[in-house]
Amino acid sequence: MARLVMKFGGTSVADVARIRNVARHVKREVDAGHEVAVVVSAMSGKTNELVAWCRDASLLHDAREYDAVVASGELVTAGLLAIVLQEMGIQARSWQGWQVPILTDGAHGTARILGVEGAELVARFDERHEVAVVAGFQGLHRATGRVTTLGRGGSDTSAVALAAAIKADRCDIYTDVDGVYTTDPRIDDRARRLDRISFEEMLEMASLGAKVLQVRSVELAMVHGVRTYVRSSFDDPADPRSGTLICDEEEIVEQQVVTGIAYSKDEAQLTLRRVADKPGVAAAIFGPLADANINVDMIIQVVSDDTTTTDITFTVPRADYDRARTILEAVRGAVGYATLQGATDVVKVSAIGIGMRSHAGVAARAFRALAEKGINIRAITTSEIKFSVLIDAAYTELAVRTLHSLYGLDKAA
């Protein structure tokens, strides 16, 4: 017998028919003798509808009341799933985030989980053999007694945090895909599903554009050692595929040099030309951007021949491009740059793999292969287990397919 947390996203619970399908997945695990807690998202599209209602009510709405409204979507799903499970003869009860409780800080709309008190859920496993159906995406700020929400993708984070708190043997994240792939199958139909991937690799892939899991959920799983499966809720509940296991590096016997290729279209490039090359200039540029909560990613600095000026290129999220330009124009006097240039038609393509630690020349092969395809690289960043290149958006598919093939990811394992 094992203790499981099963999480189902919005497309998996889009209507009552799909909720019944979810219930069959849950019943399979209950019939196998497992203790089960389920975390659910709102029905597909419901959160967007609730957000729109808040904006219609007032553009400058109270963040606390916003959370009270948008948290209701998950409550509906949790209650409906509990009803369906009961109809199947399974003891089940729905839980709101504050009832568990899942405790968070007070940052409404983007709250972070501080702790989960799952003792009552565990007691009901023992006493009643009861399935706990928990509303994801939400928690409680104990000091104010107010409901909080965790931001988009927060149900993944709720599930992993709950799994860590109740010492679950594993956390199964059910989505509309059957696992983690070597790249986006929509771009390269030779993409393969991975049997296993390390926490570090999954964290990089999630942060670099792969949409399978929310980044914070992977961070939590890595910190607490929660073995996590990505599985499809659309598989036959009687005979589902195993999905992809996200686990410690030590559990992966055969380590490929490159595990996956990710890409992100959410990029914009900014370049400051002929910036005075003196101490404090970088702080004058990036300090105001940080104060505005604009994340800066790739940074390249090239000193001119006379060593008195430099060009600085960096990327920001595309949604923050206009704000970043406005901030940089405002600090032009303090920074002293000659011109400001920008582009939004760029894409970041990344190769990820723990095998890079022990292999030289991995990135060099990619640069050569991209050059042979006529793809110009605007910027490069590297770390121990990944490298990223910034290219023109028009070459996205060609670059992804080129790198996917270069590292043999299109071949059967």
Q: Which residues are annotated as a binding site for substrate?
A: 47, 74
Could you count the other beta carbons within 10 Å of the beta carbon of residue 373? Answer: 11
Half-sphere exposure of 357 (CA within 13 A, CB side): 7
Q: Which secondary-structure segment (H or E) carries 48?
A: helix 46-57
> Strand pairing partners for 380?
389
Largest CA distance in the chain: 79
Alpha helices in 258-409 (DSSP H): 281-291, 321-330, 332-335, 362-372, 396-406
Report the C-alpha gap between 27 and 31 in whole angstroms.
6
Q: Please name the residues in contact with 280: beta carbons below 8 A apart, sequence gap of 6 or more.
A: none
Sequence ranges of the binding site for ATP = 7-10, 175-176, 181, 186, 211-212
- Give, in order, the Cα–Cα distances in Å from 337 to each of 83, 240, 289: 64, 59, 16
Q: Which secondary-structure segment (H or E) carries 266?
A: strand 260-276
Report the C-alpha gap between 154 and 262 in whole angstroms.
22
Sequence ranges of the binding site = 7-10, 47, 74, 175-176, 181, 186, 211-212
Report the C-alpha gap between 23 and 21 in whole angstroms.
5
Q: Is the Cβ–Cβ distance between 98 and 117 less than 8 Å?
A: no
User: How long, in residues, is the chain?
Assistant: 413
SS3 139: strand
Report the C-alpha gap between 230 and 212 in whole angstroms.
8
Nearest Cα to Cα of residue 301 among 321, 278, 324, 318: 278
Q: Which secondary-structure segment (H or E) carries 302?
A: strand 299-303
Paired sense of beta strands 260-276 and 309-316, if any: antiparallel
Q: Is the Cβ–Cβ distance between 130 and 95 less than 8 Å?
A: no
SS3 313: strand
